[in-house]
Amino acid sequence: MRERFWERYTLDELDDEEWEALCDGCGLCCLLKLEDDESGDIATLNVACQLLDIDSCRCSDYENRFEHVPGCTKLTRDNLATFSWLPPSCAYRRLAEGRKLAAWHPLIAGDARRMHRKQKSVRHFAVSECEVADEALEDHIIDIIPCQ
């Protein structure tokens, strides 16, 4: 990867390896979302995708995730703007908005432990969707993003 690529190039100029390296591994995009059919509001739950290893905050089968979870988030340069629910801490969102990476981001800090110590990942609060019944999902809402 090119040195400090996140500062020197636009998101569109990144190669695939650099694009993937931007992911801080927080797991926030792997939390389940519910969309209100009437308002369009998006509720984020503290319930993580069945494939998320909550301790490492990484997908347990990243290469084959779409086979297991057809609705899995596929964030690309072309669709980034459509994911209005990405948290303000997300590296992709930060760079798209002209902001710098957070000091705890693994590319800046040198490892992911700082991110977990700063509690920027789901490690400290998420539960697996395997542990939550469908009828109990609404009890796990932690945030609501109004339709824009």
Q: What is the pLDDT of residue 73?
A: 84
Mean pLDDT of 125-130: 97
Mean pLDDT of the chain: 94
| Reported confidence tier of residue 147, pLDDT bands at 50, 70, 90 | confident
Could you tell me how many residues make up the chain?
148
Question: How many domains are contained in the chain?
Answer: 1
Provide the pLDDT confidence category of residue 98 given band limits of 50, 70 and 90.
very high
CA distance 138 to 38: 16
User: Domain range spanning residue 132?
Assistant: 5-145
Choose between 55 and 147: higher pLDDT.
Answer: 55
Q: Is the pTM of this model over 0.95?
A: no
Q: Provide the residue type at 92 as one letter.
A: Y
Q: Give, in order, the Cα–Cα distances in Å from 94 to each of 28, 56, 88, 99, 117.
A: 14, 22, 7, 5, 20
What's at 141, amino acid-wise? Answer: I
pLDDT-based confidence at residue 84 (cuts at 50, 70, 90): confident
Residue 92 has pLDDT above 90, yes or no: yes
